């Protein structure tokens, strides 16, 4: 079989995946490159050459796993966030492009600060603190993660991206170690689990492969938002900011929780698709 025929075979199989959009050409191209080491240009140029047996078998095995619902990002083992590479795999939430909104806002808030001190809670892969640490070399950042699996990815991502100003801390955000509580922060960020528990089984099949610990926000999805403002207010410097990613329809409730816990200038912000995506507020002096 030629390289071109092999690619088309994989693409045709992927086009049967359920879901609104047909991403089969893009997904097949990614998996083809992963298995055979040929990017799309090389694939065009060498399309009529016979496919090496081992590479073809590896490609078709990846296609089978993808058809069984495994996320593309886990199969690739890495994914991009804020222009940086992140190792991902079972046990860690895949960084989502929507989360870049929160990073953008933090960078705006940091413009006037010479050496900001930042904390990220529920860090997962570390995508938020690493993106911030890379963009703000003079900042000091800490990221807290409970899951040992996710923390392992966080540490690999620190090494991969070379961000000496970011520290990964193992721990429960509701029992923060002294290493974290021993200083005051300019900004605290979090993308906590926020899916209402009852909605978890109905989500896209791919999300079922991700760790429930990163998704399950309790009965109404708001469990973490009930506790985060009270937890973060005393850790912030006066005038410091708390920025939280939220799920669809949670803006009003989360804004109310921030306003009720000594936060001012509370704002619900929508992402590029017009969905409520972040809530932020400033600690009152």
By rule CB under 6 A, what count of residues binds ligand GLN?
8
Question: What is the smallest separation between the CB atom of 52 and ligand GLN, expressed in angstroms?
Answer: 37
Shortest gap between Cβ of 220 and ligand GLN (angstroms)?
13
Specify whether the CB–CB gap between 141 and 118 falls below 8 A: yes
Site for ligand GLN in 95-134 (CB under 6 A): 96
Give the Cα separation of 283 and 151 in Å (integer): 29
Q: Where are the beta strands (DSSP E) in the chain?
A: 78-81, 84-87, 117-121, 140-145, 166-170, 185-190, 236-245, 263-270, 276-283
For ligand GLN, what does the binding mask look like between residues 55 and 84, x meaning CB under 6 A?
------------------------------
Q: Least Å distance between CB 206 and ligand GLN?
A: 9
Candidate ranges 75-83, 105-113, 160-168, 188-196; the one touching ligand GLN (CB under 6 A): 188-196
Bridge partners of 79, per DSSP, are 86
Binding region for ligand GLN (CB under 6 A) out of 25-33, 76-84, 139-147, 185-193: 185-193
Question: Quick one: residue 136, left, alpha or beta (phi over 0 = left, psi -120 to 50 = alpha)?
Answer: beta
Closest CB 207 distance from ligand GLN, rounded Å: 5
Q: Is residue 91 near ligand GLN by the rule CB under 6 A?
A: no
Least distance in Å: CB of 40 to ligand GLN?
A: 28
The tokens for 209 are 């492969």
The radius of gyration of the chain from alpha carbons, rounded to an integer in Å, stands at 21
What is the footprint of ligand GLN within residues 223-282 (CB under 6 A)?
Answer: none
Q: Closest CB to ligand GLN among 28 and 278?
A: 278
Give the strand order in the sheet containing 166-170.
166-170, 140-145, 117-121, 185-190, 236-245, 276-283, 263-270
**Where do the DSSP E strands lie in 67-116?**
78-81, 84-87
Closest CB to ligand GLN among 192 and 281?
Answer: 192
Subset of residues 190 to 229 that bind ligand GLN, contact rule: CB under 6 A = 191-195, 207, 215
Select 101 or 207, whichever has its Cβ closest to ligand GLN: 207
Nearer to ligand GLN by Cβ, of 89 and 192: the residue is: 192
The span from the CA of 215 to the CA of 227, in Å, is: 16
Exposed/middle/buried for residue 211 (C-beta within 10 Å: 0-12, 13-18, 19+): middle
Taking the complex as a whole, how short is the minimal distance between the CB of residue 170 and ligand GLN, in angstroms? 19
Which residues form the interface with ligand GLN (CB under 6 A)? 96, 191-195, 207, 215
């Amino acid at each position: 079989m030629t390289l071109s025929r092999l690619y088309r075979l994989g693409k045709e199989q992927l086009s049967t995946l359920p879901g609104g959009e047909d991403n089969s050409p893009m997904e097949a191209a990614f998996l083809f490159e992963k298995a055979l080491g040929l990017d799309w240009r090389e694939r065009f140029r060498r399309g009529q050459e016979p496919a090496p047996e081992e590479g073809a078998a590896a490609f078709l095995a990846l296609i089978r796993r993808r058809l069984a619902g495994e996320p593309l990002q886990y199969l690739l083992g890495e994914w991009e966030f804020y222009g940086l590479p992140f190792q991902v795999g079972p046990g860690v939430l895949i960084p989502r492009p929507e989360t870049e909104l929160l990073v953008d806002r933090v960078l705006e808030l940091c413009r006037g600060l010479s050496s900001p001190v930042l904390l990220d809670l529920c860090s997962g892969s570390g995508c938020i603190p690493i993106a911030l640490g890379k963009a703000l070399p003079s900042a000091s950042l800490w990221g807290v993660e409970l899951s040992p699996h996710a923390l392992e990815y966080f540490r690999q991502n620190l090494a991969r991206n070379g961000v000496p100003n970011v520290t990964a801390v193992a721990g429960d955000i509701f029992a923060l170690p002294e290493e974290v509580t021993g200083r005051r922060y300019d900004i605290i960020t979090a993308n906590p689990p926020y899916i209402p528990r009852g909605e978890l089984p109905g989500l896209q099949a791919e999300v079922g492969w991700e760790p429930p610990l990163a998704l399950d926000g309790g009965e109404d999805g708001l469990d973490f938002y009930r506790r985060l403002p009270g937890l973060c207010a005393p850790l912030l410097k006066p005038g410091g900011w708390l920025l939280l990613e939220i799920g669809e329809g949670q803006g009003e409730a989360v804004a109310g929780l921030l306003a009720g816990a000594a936060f001012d200038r509370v704002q619900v912000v929508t992402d590029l698709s017009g969905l409520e995506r972040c809530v932020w507020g400033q600690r009152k002096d």
